[in-house]
Amino acid sequence: MLLTQRSTLTQFLIEERRRFPGAGGDFNALILDIALACKAIARTVAFGELGGVTGDHASEQGGSVNVQGETQKKLDVLSNDVFIRRTEWSGHLAGMASEEMDLPYQIPGQYPRGKYLLVFDPLDGSSNIDVNVSVGSIFSVLRAPQAVIETGRDVTQADFLQPGSSQVAAGYALYGPTTMLVLTVGDGVNGFTLDPNLGEFMLTHPKIQIPPDTHEFAINASNSRFWESPVKRYVDECLAGKTGPRAKDFNMRWIASMVAEAHRILMRGGVFMYPRDNKDPAKPGRLRLLYEANPMGFIVEQAGGRASTGENPMMAVRPTALHQRIGLVFGSKNEVERIERYHQEPVTTELRNPLFAERSLFRD
Ligand code: AHG
Ligand code: MN
Ligand code: MN
């Protein structure tokens, strides 16, 4: 399609803002700064080994480890810096929080402070960097508490502990065969593809909708011995295929970049699970609530899908810590609701016995 027939991200944001005549330009400017950060990361990722950006980050003390206890890759640290540098100066932010920083980031004294909080996972799927598989960035925009806006005081962890339902916007960038930005400002989900010639994100996927049904699921099956029984039941039934209680064959995918899995699900449906399990009692789930589960949950729900802890709606969870981990299930609505139902139903031997399974002759 010709350039003249597509909106740029800038045009899209300005046209959206016309619906709110009182709105200033702060929010749009913030989103455009984030988009620029994503473009910069996309270029850095594209150079790979040539750019010297693969491999682990080396600090003066040797390798570096983030607050999660994970070894930081060079690109984790670089992308974190890009997010900070591209957004701290503008006067739109009161503070930031990131997977790669133990504590909230304070806007330096030389810059004005604004009314939004930015929370991000600068590089998601970092285990895939060195093997040239898709990675991404995830971000969430929250309103700063009134007291922060009025006083311009430093932000605290507590200021960020807002439920997913309070998000003003959320999005991700996917650095795949093409670079895409997928965004919600609470009015549906729109996807933009980076035109590499113009350096502009162009609206290519307006009003994305996740099909409510699917026959594709994504889970890291190497954790199966640690799963709770409702998850085991769900996966067993998928694996049983046509001859099982679901009476249809399922397909399985695992990329190990949540952004890439989420994007596939937004494009053609599916269900993603990184459920709470009993692998490590100190970690109730693998993924992080504030910069992974909440933004992705907001996007998925705005696209007609569902996001859940497995038991309850993700958007209603009251966060208790900045780097809190949580079980995450999202995707096609009917599948996620089924998984939630399995968590609510008492586990009886009947459920585990195929003779009494849903489509069995032995059931009323
Ligand atoms: P990050 O690179 O930001 O730490 O996140 C990686 C996450 C997520 O993207 C992916 O779904 C999951 O970790 C993969 O975990 P496993 O290695 O356990 O499969
Ligand atoms: Mn991540
Ligand atoms: Mn990350």
3-class SS string, the chain: CCHHHCCEHHHHHHHHHCCCCCCCCHHHHHHHHHHHHHHHHHHHHHHHHHHCCCCECEECCEECECCCCCECEHHHHHHHHHHHHHHCCCCCEEEEEECCCCCCEECCCCCCCCCEEEEEEEEECHHHHHHCCCEEEEEEEEECCHHHHHHCCCCCHHHHCCCHHHCCEEEEEEECCCEEEEEECCCCEEEEEEECCCCEEEEEECCCCCCCCCCEEEECHHHHHHECHHHHHHHHHHHHHHHCCCCCCCEECCCCCHHHHHHHHHHHCCEEEECCECCCCCCCCCEEHHHHHHHHHHHHHHCCCEEECCCCEHHHCCCCCCCCEECEEEECHHHHHHHHHHHHCCCCHHHHCHHHCCCCCCCC
162 lines ligand 1 (CB under 6 A): no
Say what the pLDDT of residue 288 is: 98
Of 42-51, 63-72, 104-113, which range is least confident? 63-72
Say what the pLDDT of residue 221 is: 97
Please answer whether residues 327 and 317 qualify as being in contact, where contact means their C-beta atoms are separated by less than 8 angstroms. Answer: no
Q: How far is the CA of 122 from the centre of ligand 3 (A)?
A: 6
The closest residue, in CA terms, to atom 16 on ligand 1 is: 256
Say what the pLDDT of residue 348 is: 61
The closest residue, in CA terms, to atom 15 on ligand 1 is: 256
The whole-angstrom separation of Cα 71 and Cα 57 is 8
Parse the chain into domains and list their residue ranges.
3-205, 216-356
Q: How confident is the model at residue 362 (pLDDT cuts 50, 70, 90)?
A: very low
One-letter amino acid at 227 equals W
220 lines ligand 1 (CB under 6 A): yes
CATH number, domain 3-205, options 3.30.450.20, 3.30.830.10, 3.30.540.10, 3.90.950.10: 3.30.540.10
Number of Cβ within a 10 Å radius of residue 44: 18
| CATH code for residues 216-356 | 3.40.190.80
Q: How confident is the model at residue 194 (pLDDT cuts 50, 70, 90)?
A: very high
283 lines ligand 1 (CB under 6 A): no
286 lines ligand 1 (CB under 6 A): yes
Nearest atom within ligand 1 for CA of residue 259 = 9
Starting from the CA of residue 123, give the closest ligand: 3
Over residues 232-248, the mean pLDDT reads 98
Q: How confident is the model at residue 309 (pLDDT cuts 50, 70, 90)?
A: very high
Say what the pLDDT of residue 1 is: 61
Whole-number average pLDDT of the chain: 93
Whole-model pTM: value is 0.94
> Which of 174, 258, 276, 325 to mutate to test ligand 1, by most ligand atoms within 8 A of the CB atom?
258
Over residues 216-232, the mean pLDDT reads 97
Structure tokens given for 276? 């709470």
Share of the chain above pLDDT 90, in %: 85
Over residues 205-224, the mean pLDDT reads 98
Nearest atom within ligand 1 for CA of residue 124 = 3
pLDDT digit string, tens, across residues 168-184: 999 999 999 999 999 99
Say what the pLDDT of residue 71 is: 87
pLDDT digit string, tens, across residues 57-99: 987 667 788 887 888 999 999 999 999 999 999 999 999 999 9
The closest residue, in CA terms, to atom 7 on ligand 1 is: 125
133 lines ligand 1 (CB under 6 A): no
The closest residue, in CA terms, to atom 18 on ligand 1 is: 220
Say what the pLDDT of residue 350 is: 46
258 lines ligand 1 (CB under 6 A): yes
pLDDT digit string, tens, across residues 8-33: 999 999 998 888 777 778 999 999 99
Over residues 216-237, the mean pLDDT reads 98
99 lines ligand 1 (CB under 6 A): yes
> Which of 80, 83, 127, 325 to mutate to test ligand 1, by most ligand atoms within 8 A of the CB atom?
127
